[in-house]
Amino acid sequence: MSRRVITLTTDFGTGSPYVAEMKGVILSICPEIVIVDISHQVAPQDVRQAALILDQTVWRFPDGTIHICVVDPGVGTDRRIVFVQLGVQCFIAPDNGVLSRLMRRDELRRALVLTQQDLWRHPVSDTFHGRDIMAPAAARVATGQSLERLGPATDRLVMLDWPEPEVRGAEIDGRVLTVDSFGNLITNIGHDLVDRLGNSAAICVRCAEHTIRGVVRTYGDRDPGTLVALIGSSGLLEMAVVQGHAAQRLQVEAGAVVTVSCA
Amino acid sequence: MSRRVITLTTDFGTGSPYVAEMKGVILSICPEIVIVDISHQVAPQDVRQAALILDQTVWRFPDGTIHICVVDPGVGTDRRIVFVQLGVQCFIAPDNGVLSRLMRRDELRRALVLTQQDLWRHPVSDTFHGRDIMAPAAARVATGQSLERLGPATDRLVMLDWPEPEVRGAEIDGRVLTVDSFGNLITNIGHDLVDRLGNSAAICVRCAEHTIRGVVRTYGDRDPGTLVALIGSSGLLEMAVVQGHAAQRLQVEAGAVVTVSCA
Amino acid sequence: MSRRVITLTTDFGTGSPYVAEMKGVILSICPEIVIVDISHQVAPQDVRQAALILDQTVWRFPDGTIHICVVDPGVGTDRRIVFVQLGVQCFIAPDNGVLSRLMRRDELRRALVLTQQDLWRHPVSDTFHGRDIMAPAAARVATGQSLERLGPATDRLVMLDWPEPEVRGAEIDGRVLTVDSFGNLITNIGHDLVDRLGNSAAICVRCAEHTIRGVVRTYGDRDPGTLVALIGSSGLLEMAVVQGHAAQRLQVEAGAVVTVSCA
């Protein structure tokens, strides 16, 4: 078998010793694993942001990758920890909705509740299930541990509400989903909806009293400092300032309303 | 032999090219190694903080892991660089006390002074022994280099003072050791001392004119914004604000006095 | 063959999901690869800074390492993406001058324009060629893809101007090239030029109305807080404040004039 990959997504912050603790536990069980950091800069306890980061990244990874997500405001309470398989990707995370955006994208093949305590690290800290339950469970799955031994199946997972853009004739009402590290405002409006409205030069994007005319192909199509709309690398409409920071320019954050129409 | 692990702990900052230089040197000597970043965000030249981060993390790693620590205000002076083996973990670091907290935890099996210059990278920069001495020495140990060739044994290592909590009858006087990335205040008071005081609901924790009644099991046991005391994932008493930042709320930093008593 | 290494240098920021996307694409094609982050904290679109970071780090890596650099203000425009081999190091980057400082150091053995679209990931996003062109091309080279298939050779690459220090008798006029994470000011004046001026104690370094007398061997040679000049780990003259931040003290940034003379 080819080497397996485990990814880590947490709100621990860059350079956190907590991340290193998880890696040590994983490597102690499964020395051949490849560990990839997706992000440790999820805003503290921001389950929705973690869900969006996972949805942007996990589909690029090899079949059978195990993605651990520790954004877990309910650590140590009776919230469950689950193993979920969506298509060819596997996940271990608290059952708090952090996987719910992913479920719109691929087939749910398996959902198990982690209950089998002999697969965990002991004593289990009530404040760090990432290290003591999720990391060892993922490492054991990577070494070929039978999935059935993890715990019982469940057919009910916590789902968050992910508002869809509304299409009304030649107008789309959407939202800013997230702001990336360049300050670009990523919306929930897919390229297919935009394409259907008409010619890209005739599209009009409005947000926070700003109006952008035309959808460009890439940042370099306009001069530095220009506010542009374009289809970003995840296939979603975004607003950007060429070589600048759109979120600061527009004073806008996640949740803001975006309206797209055709002139 | 299974693949070996080298970890890196430095004060170089995230994204520092100096870290990448060390990794390049290590991989050039030992391409099969797994390199794990523990943290590069130790405060500049803060030997005590590095010592605490090492103590929190190194014990989770596989047997035979080599931990390099480059927090080295004396680089290029006559301070020594040492190879130290504690139990099954190995360390390469300047002899400035950064390993002294670890020594309370496991048996000192070996301490050598790195003097064998043909194992180093040349010319040796007077300002970057991490790259030119520690990285190549660690990589050579990982490839099976005989330890005796590193240099002569020593029975004297620089030790820092690590104040212990004082127990006076039904009261414990301790200190805040460090603040983690969530703003939680980690003390030097172990769970065993707290357990001995009595029932967790009757424990009283005082710090900076704040009083916390009761030790909870985990953050989720109280509402967001509540100041709580609990046993953290390293087995030490900590103060936290649920979904908040205790260090900011209490205006407290490392070194602050913490008193625990039983009502 | 020994395992190959791919390095990543970008302006995506630490913890960016864009970096994780590239790693997922690489590992999907070449699961045996070692991926090393050089830095993701290049200032946005700062091609010159990226060029300096590459020049500081890439020479430490094993023969045959493939260095990807995604600092790419022209993404999606008609700027070219190139594969370049310098000595035993390989590079994939936009042809925007980011490799031009490296070319002063080692022999240009090969320069190809990436045009062979069946080696890319499809559909290619107009805003993320790092993920869709550079990452898959690098991974395919790592798996042994014949280089000729990448695209046609070119003998013309974009070159940036890298000013050299001027020597006028017993005086050298140079520049601050970059500021490192400790705040040290790294100049473009090599140790050989400084050595030729005379005895290190008699050297005089001037910058922004500050004068430093003597070149010390290492930071620890002076008391904390002292402004010193020394030869840094890349062999270049630098100005530093012992256990402090020279860029803040001198209120100086990249580009500032530095004059070295002999008393």
How many CA atoms, within 13 angstroms, populate the side-chain half-sphere of residue A18? Answer: 26
Distances (CA, A) of C6 to A73, C59, C117: 36, 13, 21
Specify the pTM.
Answer: 0.93
Chain C contacts of B75, Cβ < 8 Å? 218-220
Point out the residue among C12, C17, C45 whose CB comes nearest to the CB of A56: C17
The whole-angstrom distance between C118's CA and the closest CA on chain B is 31
Mean pLDDT of A49-72: 96
**Which residues 6+ apart lie within 8 Å of A154 measured at CB?**
A80, A82, A111, A112, A113
Chain C contacts of A5, Cβ < 8 Å? 27, 31
Report which secondary-structure segment, H or E, holds C49.
helix C47-57
The one-letter amino acid at A9: T
Return the DSSP state at C4: P
Residue A2's pLDDT is what? Answer: 59
Cα C76 → chain centroid: 23
- Decide: A33 and A6 in contact? Cβ < 8 Å: yes
The domain boundary, picked from B109, B124, B149, lies at B149
Pairing of strands B257-262, B203-207: antiparallel
Count how many residues are written for chain B: 263
- pLDDT, one tens digit per residue, over A212-247 is 999 999 988 899 999 999 999 989 999 999 999 999
- pLDDT, one tens digit per residue, over B224-244 is 999 999 999 989 999 999 999
- pLDDT, one tens digit per residue, over A188-203 is 999 999 999 988 899 9
CA A101/CA A53 separation, integer angstroms: 10
CA A99/CA A69 separation, integer angstroms: 9
Within a domain: residue A28? yes
Residue B188's pLDDT is what? Answer: 95
Same domain, A125 and A173: no
**CA of C89: which chain B residue's CA is closest?**
B24
The whole-angstrom distance between B89's CA and the closest CA on chain A is 12
Residue B222 token pair: 């109280």
Same domain, C12 and C126: yes
Q: How many CB atoms lie within 10 A of CB C169?
A: 8
Within a domain: residue A82? yes
The number of C-beta contacts closer than 8 angstroms across A and C is 98
Contact between chains at C230 and B126 (C-beta distance less than 8 A)? yes
Coil/strand/helix, residue A214: coil
Distances (CA, A) of B72 to A152, B11, B16, B104, B217: 51, 9, 16, 22, 38
Same domain, A100 and A174: no
Same domain, A91 and A129: yes
Same domain, C85 and C196: no
For B140, the domain range is 5-149
Contact between chains at B126 and C57 (C-beta distance less than 8 A)? no
Chain C contacts of A69, Cβ < 8 Å? none
Task: For chain C, list the contacting chains (3+ Cβ pairs, <8 Å).
Answer: A, B
Contact between chains at B27 and C7 (C-beta distance less than 8 A)? no
Same domain, B127 and B43: yes
Report which secondary-structure segment, H or E, holds A239.
strand A236-241
* Percent of chain C residues past pLDDT 90, beyond the cut: 84
Label residue B1 by pLDDT band (50, 70, 90). Answer: very low
* Class of residue B187 by CB neighbours under 10 A (exposed 0-12, middle 13-18, buried 19+): buried
**Would you say residue B103 has pLDDT above 80?**
yes
Same domain, A105 and A190: no
Sheet strands (E) in chain C: 5-10, 34-39, 66-70, 81-86, 89-94, 108-113, 166-168, 171-179, 185-190, 203-207, 210-213, 215-216, 227-231, 236-241, 257-262
The residues of chain C scoring below 70 in pLDDT are 1-2
Within a domain: residue C158? no
- Which residue in A119, A160, A115 sits closest to A143, CA to CA? A119
Chain B contacts of A32, Cβ < 8 Å? 2-3
A58-62, B189-193, B253-257, C180-184: range with lowest mean pLDDT: C180-184
Return the DSSP state at C213: E
Chain C contacts of A221, Cβ < 8 Å? 76-77
Residue B261's pLDDT is what? Answer: 95
- Which residue in B40, A46, B44 sits closest to C41, CA to CA? B40
**Would you say residue B95 has pLDDT above 70?**
yes
Chain A contacts of C21, Cβ < 8 Å? 56-57, 60, 233
Residues of A with CB under 8 A from a CB of C: 2-3, 5, 7, 14, 34, 36-41, 53, 56-62, 65, 180-182, 217-221, 230-233, 235, 243
What is the number of structural domains in chain C? 2
Distances (CA, A) of A256 to A176, A195, A244, A260, C41: 5, 22, 19, 13, 28
CA C133/CA A13 separation, integer angstroms: 30
Within a domain: residue B160? no
- Decide: B58 and B78 in contact? Cβ < 8 Å: no
Q: What is the C-alpha end-to-end distance of chain A, expressed in Å?
A: 55
Q: What is the overall mean pLDDT for chain B?
A: 94
Residue A169 token pair: 């004739």
Torsion of CA B74, B75, B76, B81, to 10 degrees: 90
Chain C contacts of B23, Cβ < 8 Å? 36, 60
Which residue in the block uniquely carries the two structure tokens 């993404």? Answer: C75
Q: How many CB atoms lie within 10 A of CB C2?
A: 11
Label residue B2 by pLDDT band (50, 70, 90). Answer: low
The angle at the Cα of B27, spanning B24 to B30, to the nearest 5 degrees, equals 150
Residue A216's pLDDT is what? Answer: 94
Torsion of CA A79, A85, A86, A89, to 10 degrees: 120
CA B125/CA C230 separation, integer angstroms: 11
Distances (CA, A) of C235 to A145, B87, C194: 52, 39, 10
- Decide: C40 and B3 in contact? Cβ < 8 Å: no
Residues forming beta bridges with residue B93, ordered by sequence position: B82
Torsion of CA C176, C178, C179, C180, to 10 degrees: -130
Within a domain: residue C161? no
Rounded to 5 degrees, φ, ψ at A29 are -90, -35
CA A240/CA A234 separation, integer angstroms: 14
Residue B43's pLDDT is what? Answer: 87
Chain C contacts of A14, Cβ < 8 Å? 14-15
- pLDDT, one tens digit per residue, over B53-92 is 999 999 999 999 999 999 998 888 889 999 999 999 999 9
- pLDDT, one tens digit per residue, over A109-136 is 999 999 999 999 999 999 999 999 999 9
CA B48/CA A88 separation, integer angstroms: 45
Distances (CA, A) of B183 to B243, B255, C183: 10, 15, 26
Same domain, C195 and C108: no
Same domain, B73 and B12: yes
- Helices in chain A by DSSP H: which ranges? 17-29, 47-57, 129, 135-142, 191-197, 246-250
Q: How many CB atoms lie within 10 A of CB C118?
A: 6
- Decide: C47 and C105 in contact? Cβ < 8 Å: no
Gyration radius of chain A over CA positions = 21
Residue C252's pLDDT is what? Answer: 94
CA A87/CA A71 separation, integer angstroms: 23
Distances (CA, A) of B256 to B178, B184, B228, B246: 10, 13, 17, 13
Residues forming beta bridges with residue B62, ordered by sequence position: none
Same domain, A251 and A174: yes
Contact between chains at B125 and C232 (C-beta distance less than 8 A)? yes
- Decide: A248 and A197 in contact? Cβ < 8 Å: no
- Which residue in B110, B4, B101 sits closest to B51, CA to CA? B101
Residues of B with CB under 8 A from a CB of A: 2-3, 5, 7, 14, 34, 36-41, 53, 56-62, 65, 180-182, 217-221, 230-233, 235, 243
CATH at A200: 2.40.30.90
- pLDDT, one tens digit per residue, over C140-151 is 999 999 999 999
Chain A contacts of B182, Cβ < 8 Å? 13, 44
* Class of residue C122 by CB neighbours under 10 A (exposed 0-12, middle 13-18, buried 19+): exposed
Residue B31's pLDDT is what? Answer: 94
* Full 3-state SS string of C162-187: CCCCEEECCEEEEEEEEECCCCCEEE
The angle at the Cα of A94, spanning A91 to A98, to the nearest 5 degrees, equals 70
Same domain, C85 and C173: no
The whole-angstrom distance between A157's CA and the closest CA on chain B is 20
Within a domain: residue B33? yes
Within a domain: residue C189? yes
**Which residues 6+ apart lie within 8 Å of A118 measured at CB?**
none
Distances (CA, A) of B160 to B59, B100, B235: 20, 6, 22
CA C233/CA B128 separation, integer angstroms: 6
CA A20/CA A255 separation, integer angstroms: 33
The domain boundary, picked from B99, B116, B149, lies at B149
Phi-psi region of C148 (alpha: psi -120 to 50; beta: other; left: phi over 0): alpha
Residues of B with CB under 8 A from a CB of C: 12-18, 20-21, 23-25, 27-28, 31-32, 35, 44-45, 73-77, 79, 125-128, 131-132
Sheet strands (E) in A46-107: 66-70, 81-86, 89-94
- Decide: C1 and C33 in contact? Cβ < 8 Å: no
The domain boundary, picked from A149, A184, A210, lies at A149
Same domain, C174 and C244: yes
Residue A51's pLDDT is what? Answer: 96
Q: How does DSSP assign chain B, residue by residue?
A: -PPPEEEEEESS-TT-HHHHHHHHHHHHH-TT-EEEEEES-SPTT-HHHHHHHHHHHGGGSPTT-EEEEE--TTTTSS--EEEEEETTEEEEEESSSTTTTGGGTS-EEEEEE---GGGS-SSPPTT-HIIIIIHHHHHHHHTT--GGGG--B-S-------PPPEEETTEEEEEEEEE-TT--EEEEEEHHHHHHH--GGGEEEEETTEEEESEESSGGGS-TT-EEEEE-TTSEEEEEETTS-HHHHHT--TT-EEEEEE-
CATH at C26: 3.40.50.10790
- pLDDT, one tens digit per residue, over C97-116 is 999 999 999 999 999 999 99
**Would you say residue A9 has pLDDT above 60?**
yes
Residue B177's pLDDT is what? Answer: 92
- Decide: B111 and B82 in contact? Cβ < 8 Å: yes
Within a domain: residue B158? no
Contact between chains at A24 and B232 (C-beta distance less than 8 A)? no
Chain C contacts of B6, Cβ < 8 Å? none
CA C64/CA B20 separation, integer angstroms: 16
CA C169/CA C99 separation, integer angstroms: 32
**Which of B11, B58, B219 should we substitute to test contact with A (largest number of A Cβ atoms within 10 Å)?**
B219
